[in-house]
Amino acid sequence: MFGKLLSYEVNDKEIKIQYEKIEATITVINDEVINFFVPLHRKERNSKAVENLNLRNSNFSVEKNENTLNIATEKLKIVINDDFKIDIYDKNEKVLCRDYRSIRHPFKRRGNGTELAAEEGHVLNGHQNFKVYVAKTMEDNMYFYGLGERTGSLNKKGYHYRNWNTDDPSPHGETFEQLYKSIPFLISIKDEEAFGIFFDNHFESHFDMGKENSEYYYFSAVGGNLDYYFIYGPEVKDVVNEYTNLTGKTPLPQLWTLGYQQCRWSYAPKERVMEIAKSFRERGIPCDTLYLDIDYMDDFRVFTWDNKKFENPREFTDELKNMGFKLVTIIDPGVKIDKEYSIYAEGIKNDYFAKDKDGIVYKNRVWPGDSVYPDFMNPKVRQWWAENQKIMIDSGVSGIWNDMNEPASFNGPLPDDVMFNDNGLEVTHKEIHNIYGHMMSKATYEGIKEYTNKRPFVITRACYAGTQKYSTVWTGDNQSTWEHLRMSIPMLMTLGLSGVSFCGTDVGGFGHDCTGELLSRWVQVGAFTPLFRNHSAMGTRDQEPWTFDKETEEINKKYIKLRYKLIPYLYDLMKECENTGAPIIRPLLFNYQNDKNTYEINDEFLCGDSILVSPVVEQGMKQKLVYLPKGTKWIDFWTGENHNGGQYIIKEAPLDTCPIFVKEASIIPMSIEQNYIGEKSNDELILNIYLSENDSEFKYVHYNDDGESFNYRNGIYNEYEITISNKENIDIKFIINKNDYINKYSKVKFIINNLKTNKNITLNGKKVNLENNAIEINL
C-alpha cells in the first residue's frame, strides 16, 4: 500500500518515516502509548477527542535494520516494516499485536434470490470496502472489550460493530451494529496481558473482532486519516487510565447528581410536576432531580417555556428547590424555522446553521417541525449556544439534557454533503456526524460552567470518544423488557471501560409498559449505576416507584435509600475516576484480570473495589448463581456470611433481595438517610468495616468537599485516611490528611460489620470497647 520503507528521521518524540508513496509518523507519547499516523485525508491531525497531546518523558531508541525500523521503549518493542506493517512486543519479546500480512479474506455470504429477500425486508450486507483499513493478526486466547455503548455480551470476540451515531427507537438487540454513541476504542486481553487500540477517526468506522475471518481482527473507516494509539497495559486498569489521559477523565460531578432522578416524557404542566414532587416527599422515597422533557417548551422551540403550562418558570423552580428538587430540562439541537423566534433569527443573521452543498441553510424535520441544525463545529456557534444556556440557568434550571444530537431527523438522514465550518475548515456531515453530539455537549458544558461556576450537569445521548469530559450519558431508548435489563449490564460496563464512567440506562425501561417485578429488579441495578434515572416514554403506563403496588413501592424505597447511604462511597469512586479513569461500575475482570473465570461474566458487576452486585435479571427467578472472584473472601451484605472466592454459589434472592457481596478487608463510607442531598447536615461519617478472616492490613481514603464548586481544584477539600490492622489486635488508625473544607464532620462512627473475635480493639492507639459492634468519636 505505502511501499518500501526508505528512510527515517527522529525529531524529539516523533519519528518520521518516508515510504515510497507517503510519509508516516510515529509518536512516542510515553513508554506505554504510541501513536501511528498517516495523513491519508489531511496533513494535520484534527482530533476532537484528544485536546492536548501530553508527551511524557521516555527514553526510547530507534535503530534501522536491513528492512525494518526497531523502536524500543522501557515497556515495548516495536518493529516497523515496509507498507507500514507494525509488530509490537512486550519487553520480554512476547507478541502483543502484529499486523496481518495476507490479503483480506472475508467469509462467504450466500445470497441467491437476494432481491426478493431484500423486498421482504431482510438486510443483505456485503463486505464493505474502506479507505482506511488496518488488520491485526488474531493471536490465541484473545478477548475483546470496550467500544462504548454496545448491545450483546461483554466479550466482543467474533462480532462486528459500526460507529455511526444512530437514533433507532426500535427494540435494541444483539443484531444492532450501532447505537447513539461512537467510541472507537478497543481493549484486548491475551494471556492475562492487556492492551488497547484507540482509532481516533470520527468518520464512519468499523471494528471487526474476527467475525470476517478468525485469523485477523480489523479497524477501518470510510475516510479520514490513519491515526491510532496503541496503549499497553499490562492491566486493563492501565489501559483505561492511559486512554483517559488521552481523551479526558470524567470530572467529579455535583453531589446531588448522584441522587435518584425521576423523569418522564413528559411531566407537564407545572401542577403535574408538583404532584410528582409531593409524592416523593409524602412517601419518603428519596429523590433529588426531576426532568422536563420536550413538552415544557413553547411548541418545541429550544430555550423557551410554554407559559401556559409553566406560567412563571423561576417561581416554579424555586418552589421545587424549597422541597429539595433540582430540575433538568431537555434541549435538542434542532431549531424551529420561525422568523419571529429569536434563536432562529439570531442564528440566521449570524450564519450559525449548517448548509447544503449549495450554501443554502439545510433543513430537516424534528419535533418543532421544519428545523435547522446549529453548526457546533464552529467555535462562534458553540459560544452562542453556551450563552443560550443562561436562559435556562436564569429560570432556575440545574442541568441540561441533550437529546436528538446524533443528529436525528424525521425526514430521512442528513445527506453526507451537508456542510459545517470547523474553525475555518469546510467539513462535511460525512466527516463530522459522529462528533456532532460531542461538540454540542462541549458547548453546553462550557455555558453552564460559565453561568453557574459549578460543576456542570449535562446528559447527552450521542457522544464520541472524550465526551466524558463534558457530559454524563444515558443509553437512549431501551424498552421495559427483561432482555433490556439483562443487556444494560454489559452495556454499562463496556461504557465504563471506554472512559464513560458516569452513565446509566432508563431504569424501568423507556418504551413498552413496565411491570412491578421488572421495576423492582431494575432499581436494584440502578441503585449502583452512577446515573440513576427512571424514565419512560409517552403513552406507556406510569412508572414512578409507587404506581404498581405496595411491594414494588417498598422495594424501590429500600434500594433508593441504600443508594443514598452509599453516596459517600460513590463520590469517592467518582474522585478516583477523575484521577485514574477507573469506572464506577466495572466488569469483574477489571479487578481480577488474573482470574479467567471473570472474562465473560455479563450478569454481575463490581461497584468500585469493594462491592460486587449480582442482580437477578430474569422474571420469576428467586435464586441467583453468583461467581465470586479468586484471591479474596466475600461477605454477604445481607447475612454477613463468608464465602471463598473462586467459586460459584447459589444465593437466595426473593424479589426484595439483590445479591450483594462485600470484599473482605474493606471499608465502605456511608451517610445517614436523607430525602435529598443536603436535607440534613452532613456531620457524621459512618465507616463500615468488613474484616478479613486472616491477618491483614488495609486502608481507605475518604474524600469530602462542598459537592458543587470547583474549589476542590484549589485544594479546598478534606481527606481522611483509615487504616485497619487486623492481627493480634484490631488496630484502627484514623488520620485527617487534609482539612481545608470548612464544613467538616463532627462525628465518626466505626462499625465492624463482621466482628467474630474477642481481640482487643484500639483506635489511634487507645483501647476501646465497642457497643453493638460500633464506636463513635467526636472530632
Catalytic residue numbers read 403, 406, 477
Compute the least distance from the CB of residue 338 to ligand MIG, in Å: 19
Binding flag, residue 149, ligand MIG (CB under 6 A): no
Pick between residue 539 and residue 654 the one whose CB is nearest to ligand MIG.
539
Compute the least distance from the CB of residue 297 to ligand MIG, in Å: 10
Site map for ligand MIG, 431-470, x if CB under 6 A? ------------------------------x---------
Query: Are 302 and 343 in contact, with CB atoms under 8 Å apart?
Result: yes
Beta strands in 138-192 (DSSP E): 142-146, 160-163, 181-182, 185-190
Binding flag, residue 265, ligand MIG (CB under 6 A): yes
Query: Are 499 and 183 in contact, with CB atoms under 8 Å apart?
Result: yes
Binding flag, residue 544, ligand MIG (CB under 6 A): no
Pick between residue 27 and residue 534 the one whose CB is nearest to ligand MIG.
534
Site map for ligand MIG, 216-255, x if CB under 6 A? ----------------------------------------
Number of Cβ atoms within 10 Å of the Cβ of 270: 20
Q: How far is CA 618 from CA 156, 488, 559, in A?
A: 23, 13, 18
- What residues numbered 499-528 form the site for ligand MIG, per CB under 6 A? 510
Query: Are 439 and 433 in contact, with CB atoms under 8 Å apart?
Result: no
CA distance 718 to 726: 26
Pick between residue 409 and residue 709 the one whose CB is nearest to ligand MIG.
409
Compute the least distance from the CB of residue 278 to ligand MIG, in Å: 23
Query: Are 462 and 437 in contact, with CB atoms under 8 Å apart?
Result: yes
CA distance 556 to 545: 6
Binding flag, residue 324, ligand MIG (CB under 6 A): no
Pick between residue 461 and residue 586 the one whose CB is nearest to ligand MIG.
461
Compute the least distance from the CB of residue 190 to ligand MIG, in Å: 37
Pick between residue 87 and residue 477 the one whose CB is nearest to ligand MIG.
477
CA distance 361 to 652: 61
Compute the least distance from the CB of residue 268 to ligand MIG, in Å: 12
Q: What phi and psi, each to the nearest 5 degrees, are found at residue 605? A: -150, 160
**What does the DSSP 8-state code read for residue 128?**
P
Binding flag, residue 476, ligand MIG (CB under 6 A): yes
- Residue 254 Cα to chain centre, angstroms: 16
Q: Which of 329, 331, 322, 330 is nearest to 277 (CA)?
A: 322
Binding flag, residue 296, ligand MIG (CB under 6 A): no
Among 31, 99, 242, 293, binds ligand MIG (CB under 6 A): 293
Among 88, 330, 487, 507, binds ligand MIG (CB under 6 A): 330
Number of Cβ atoms within 10 Å of the Cβ of 736: 12
Q: Which of 363, 360, 380, 384 is nearest to 372 (CA)?
A: 363
Compute the least distance from the CB of residue 477 to ligand MIG, in Å: 5
**In whole angstroms, how large is the CA radius of gyration of the chain?**
27
Compute the least distance from the CB of residue 127 to ligand MIG, in Å: 32
Compute the least distance from the CB of residue 403 to ligand MIG, in Å: 5
Q: Which three cell numbers stand for residue 476?
A: 437512549
Compute the least distance from the CB of residue 461 to ligand MIG, in Å: 6
Q: Which residues contact 175 (CB under 8 A, 6 or more apart)?
A: 151
Q: Report how far apart the first and last C-alpha atoms of the chain are (Å, whole number).
A: 69
Applying CB under 6 A, what is the total number of residues that bind ligand MIG? 10
Site map for ligand MIG, 378-417, x if CB under 6 A? -------------------------x--------------
Pick between residue 477 and residue 705 the one whose CB is nearest to ligand MIG.
477
Among 31, 477, 572, 708, binds ligand MIG (CB under 6 A): 477
Number of Cβ atoms within 10 Å of the Cβ of 305: 21
Q: Which residues contact 683 (CB under 8 A, 6 or more apart)?
A: 743, 744, 745, 746, 747
Pick between residue 100 and residue 265 the one whose CB is nearest to ligand MIG.
265
Q: Please name every residue paired with 704 in a beta bridge, in sequence order, or none if there are none.
A: 718
Binding flag, residue 294, ligand MIG (CB under 6 A): yes
Q: Which residues contact 43 (CB under 8 A, 6 or more apart)?
A: none
Pick between residue 259 and residue 504 the one whose CB is nearest to ligand MIG.
504
Q: Which residues contact 293 (CB under 8 A, 6 or more apart)?
A: 263, 264, 265, 266, 267, 330
Pick between residue 476 and residue 490 the one whose CB is nearest to ligand MIG.
476
CA distance 589 to 38: 34
CA distance 695 to 664: 11
The contact set with ligand MIG (CB under 6 A) reads: 265, 293-294, 330, 403, 461, 476-477, 510, 535
